[in-house]
């Protein structure tokens, strides 16, 4: 089954500068636990934190509430996150700009 990605514009901390706003937005994706084979929402990441992990080549870890365990997300899931992250950040910035202008 393909990785299911869902994105939610939740704010963790409102940053001081407008350019940093999209970095404080939560980026939620679903990853499959290799232990129990269930898909779990991974909601502990901001756009900025994922960008840093991807840019530096660090692993992205998922968490399973059933197994109470962490695992490194698959290369496929990582690639999907990397592909969707810039589009999501751009979309959020555009919507925030429109709401502030109107």
Asked whether the whole model's pTM tops 0.85, one would answer no
Tens digits of residue pLDDT in 4-63: 444 444 444 444 554 455 567 788 899 999 999 999 999 889 888 999 999 999 999 999
Q: Could you tell me the two tokens for 7?
A: 């994105």
Alpha helix stretches (DSSP H) within the chain: 47-56, 75-101
- Domain boundaries defined on the chain: 18-101
């Amino acid at each position: 089954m393909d990785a299911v990605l869902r994105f939610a514009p939740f704010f963790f901390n409102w940053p001081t500068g407008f350019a940093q706003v999209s970095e404080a937005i939560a980026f939620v994706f679903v990853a499959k636990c290799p232990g129990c084979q269930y898909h779990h929402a991974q909601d502990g990441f901001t756009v900025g934190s994922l960008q840093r992990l991807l840019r530096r080549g660090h692993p992205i870890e998922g968490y399973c509430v059933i197994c109470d365990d962490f695992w490194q997300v698959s290369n496929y899931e990582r690639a999907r996150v990397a592909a969707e992250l810039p589009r999501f950040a751009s979309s959020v910035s555009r919507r925030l700009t429109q709401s502030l202008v109107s």
